[in-house]
Structure 1
Amino acid sequence: MIKFALKVVLMAGVFYGVAYLLDGVDVVANPDGPLGEFGTWLWIALIFAVVNAIVGPILRLFSLPFVILTLGLFLLVINAALLGITAALTDRLTVDGFGSAVLGGLLLAVGGWLADQLLDRD
C-alpha cells in the first residue's frame, strides 16, 4: 500500500513534467483544494492509476493482435487512450489532440517505468 501511495506521488510529478513539456496537455490546478495545487496533481495521478489498473489490462488483452503485429508500438495508442479516459473523468485535465495524447502517454509510460525502478530497489 505504501508503494502504491509513493508511486502516485511520483506520477504526480511526472504529470507535472508532462503538462510543463507538452502544450496539448493542460492541468487546471485548484489552489483552494484541501492539499492546494499539489492535491490536483495527486488527484489526476490517482485517477490515472485506477484507470490504468482497471481499463489498461482489458485494452491490452483485446488489442494483443495489434500489439504483436506492430511489435509493441500499438501500446503507445493504448497509453494515449488511457490518458484520454483520465481526461474525460476529470475536469482538471485536458488533452488537446491525438498527437499530444500519444506523446503524453509515452512520457507517462517512461515516468511510470522510472518510478517502478526507484520503488523496486531493495
Structure 2
Amino acid sequence: MRFLVRTIVNALALAAAAILLPGLSISGSGALASAIGDGPATVVAYLVIAVVFGVVNAFVKPIVAFVSTPLTCLTLGLFSIVVNALMIALTAWLSEFTPIVLEVDAFFWTAVLAAIIVAVVSAVLGWLLPDSAPERTAER
C-alpha cells in the first residue's frame, strides 16, 4: 500500500513538473492511447514513469548521495538538488527503453527546476497524505 501511495505521489509530482516546465514532457503513449483512450493513457504513462523514477530513487540515489556527501556538505546541501536532477535525467534515459518516454530538453535548467518542483510537490503531498504505516506503541 505504501509503494502505491508513493508511486501516485511521484506521478503527481512529475505531472506538476511537466505542466510547469515546457522542456519536460512524456511521450510515446500513442498505441496505448488508441487502445484505452487519451485520459487513461496519460494516467498510465505518468504511473509508468513514476515507477521507473521510484526504482531509480530506491537503488541508485543512495549510492550517488553517499559518494557526493563531501560535495553536498561543501555546498551546504545545495548539491542534493543536482543529485535529484541527475536522478530525473537517469529516469529519462532509462525510460527510452520503454514505450513511454520522459523527455528532458536541457539538464541544467529543465532537470534542475524539475528536481525542485518534484521535491516540493512530493513534500507537500507527503505532508498532506497520512502515513499508511500504523504507529507502534510500547506494549506493557
30-39 or 3-12, larger mean C-alpha shift: 30-39
SS in 1 for 2:11: helix
Cross-structure match for 1:12: 11
Inter-CA distance 85–33: structure 2 relative to 1 (3 Å threshold): farther
Amino acid across the alignment from 1:96:
D
Alignment of structure 1 residues 1-122 onto 2, 5 Å: 2-28=1-27, 30=29, 31-32=33-34, 36-91=41-96, 92-97=101-106, 98-117=108-127, 118-120=129-131
Please say which structure displays the higher CA radius of gyration.
2
Please list every run of 5 or more consecutive structure 1 residues that lacks an aligned counterpart in the other structure. none
Conserved in 1, the CA contact under 8 Å of 2:16 and 2:118? no
Conserved in 2, the CA contact under 8 Å of 1:87 and 1:95? yes
1:52 to partner: Cα distance: 0.5
1:89 to partner: Cα distance: 0.6
Conserved in 2, the CA contact under 8 Å of 1:22 and 1:104? yes
RMSD: 1.8
Please list every run of 5 or more consecutive structure 2 residues that lacks an aligned counterpart in the other structure. 135-140
SS in 1 for 2:60: helix
Distance in 2 separating the partners of 1:57 and 1:33:
38
Distance in 2 separating the partners of 1:101 and 1:84:
7
SS in 1 for 2:76: coil
Aligned-residue identity in percent:
35
Distance in 2 separating the partners of 1:27 and 1:84:
13
Normalising by structure 2, report the TM-score. Answer: 0.79
Conserved in 2, the CA contact under 8 Å of 1:33 and 1:39? no
